[in-house]
């Protein structure tokens, strides 16, 4: 086999592998979003109280660690559903709070619609243009860390203005993370569909929460 033939075969195999990761990622992401929505709906119907920051962080980071640890095995799939289901349960009380205020249902639906439009628009842009967004990885890591710490400060010091600023930051950062992760999949930078799914799910989750807070504030909640 000539060098050209080997290159063509190698390229074809690489494209097939990338398409498989992309297909598996979006299939698993769809299932986890449905499962998380069901868990959130159950939490709303049962009128579950908020779990508290300590339990939420412990559950999230603990399940995230397990998902990463077993990402290359079948057990990783169970961890993904455990993580996304838990996040759905933590989302339920927040949705209940917004549903209890005037125009709350419209706010929730607007946040859901906005999240869907942003995700589909950004993903479609990357898939269509095949632009490489790997260069924003470092910026996103630093930005998310800064926004996370600022968010904790807003909670502990009861600073609504800072909280809204953090939400606006997270809308931009999660949008960037969607661009980055989708780009990583199609360019071969991410070959594990479980890890790709978790990243996209967390992006969508935080994007929805941020839009919910911003729309709630402008809608008269705060």
Segments in the chain forming alpha helices (H)? 3-45, 53-69, 75-99, 104-129, 137-156, 160-186, 193-218
* Cα separations in angstroms, 166 against 88, 203, 221: 21, 15, 17
Reported as a single tens digit per residue, the pLDDT across 149-182 is 999 888 888 888 889 999 999 999 999 999 999 9
Higher pLDDT, 216 or 16: 216
Three-class SS of residue 48?
coil
% of the chain with per-residue pLDDT over 90: 76
Reported as a single tens digit per residue, the pLDDT across 43-89 is 999 999 998 889 999 999 999 999 999 999 989 999 999 999 999 99
Reported as a single tens digit per residue, the pLDDT across 85-116 is 999 999 999 999 999 988 889 999 999 999 99
Give residue 16's pLDDT band: very low, low, confident or very high (50, 70, 90).
low
DSSP category for residue 134: G
The predicted model scores a pTM of 0.90
Average pLDDT, the chain: 90
pLDDT at 138 over 60: yes
pLDDT at 36 over 70: yes
Structure tokens at 154: 């807003």
Report the chain's terminal Cα–Cα distance, integer Å: 69
Structure tokens at 36: 């998380």
What's the confidence (pLDDT) of residue 158? 84
What's the confidence (pLDDT) of residue 156? 87
Give residue 19's pLDDT band: very low, low, confident or very high (50, 70, 90).
confident
What's the confidence (pLDDT) of residue 129? 94
What's the confidence (pLDDT) of residue 102? 86
Give residue 5's pLDDT band: very low, low, confident or very high (50, 70, 90).
very low
What's the confidence (pLDDT) of residue 2? 52
What's the confidence (pLDDT) of residue 3? 47
Interior angle at CA 115, CA 109 and CA 118, nearest 5:
140
What's the confidence (pLDDT) of residue 11? 44
């Amino acid at each position: 086999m000539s060098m050209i033939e080997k290159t063509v075969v190698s390229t074809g195999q690489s494209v097939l592998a990338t398409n498989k990761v992309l297909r598996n990622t979006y299939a698993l992401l769809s299932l986890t979003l449905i499962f998380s929505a069901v868990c959130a709906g159950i939490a709303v119907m049962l009128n579950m109280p908020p779990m508290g920051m300590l339990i939420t962080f412990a559950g999230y980071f603990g399940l995230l660690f397990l998902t990463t640890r077993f990402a290359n095995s079948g057990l990783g799939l169970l961890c993904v559903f455990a993580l996304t289901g838990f996040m759905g349960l933590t989302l339920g009380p927040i949705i209940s709070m917004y549903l209890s205020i005037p125009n709350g249902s419209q706010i929730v639906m607007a946040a859901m619609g906005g999240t869907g439009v942003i995700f589909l628009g950004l993903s479609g842009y990357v898939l269509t243009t095949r632009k490489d967004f790997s260069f924003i990885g470092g910026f996103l890591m630093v930005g998310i860390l800064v926004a996370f710490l600022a968010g904790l400060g807003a909670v502990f010091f009861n600073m609504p203005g800072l909280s809204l600023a953090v939400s606006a930051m997270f809308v931009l950062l999660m949008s960037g993370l969607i661009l980055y992760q989708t780009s990583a999949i199609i360019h071969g930078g991410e070959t594990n569909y479980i890890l790709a799914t978790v990243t996209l799910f967390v992006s969508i989750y935080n994007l929805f929460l941020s839009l919910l807070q911003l729309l709630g504030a402008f809608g008269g909640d705060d």
